[in-house]
């Protein structure tokens, strides 16, 4: 089955590291990254969707980051 995550972070190298870590664990990019200005905190935020094929059934209490 395919599972989905949306990775988010401030627009710093931390975001790139978060995405790179997910890719190293078998996640695949899904679509283009998105950027938006966070007015409350005065920073740019990034988001990247990723997907992964796993064995078994989905359940809402899954820890997707541990897959």
Question: Residue 57 to residues 2, 3, 22, 54, 61: CA-CA distances in angstroms?
Answer: 9, 10, 20, 8, 12
Q: Would you list the domain boundaries of the chain?
A: 2-56
| Cβ pair 45, 10 in contact under 8 A | yes
**Closest residue by Cα to residue 6 from 65, 48, 51:** 48
Give the predicted TM-score (pTM) of the model.
0.87
Instruction: Report the C-alpha gap between 30 and 49 in whole angstroms.
Output: 5
Q: Each residue of 4-41: pLDDT tens digit?
A: 999 999 999 999 999 999 999 999 999 999 999 999 99
């Amino acid at each position: 089955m395919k599972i989905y995550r949306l990775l988010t972070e401030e627009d710093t190298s931390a975001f790139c590291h978060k995405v790179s870590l997910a890719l190293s664990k078998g996640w695949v990019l899904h679509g283009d990254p998105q950027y938006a200005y966070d007015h409350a905190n005065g920073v740019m935020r990034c988001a990247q969707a990723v997907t992964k094929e796993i064995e078994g059934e989905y359940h809402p209490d899954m820890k997707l980051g541990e897959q």
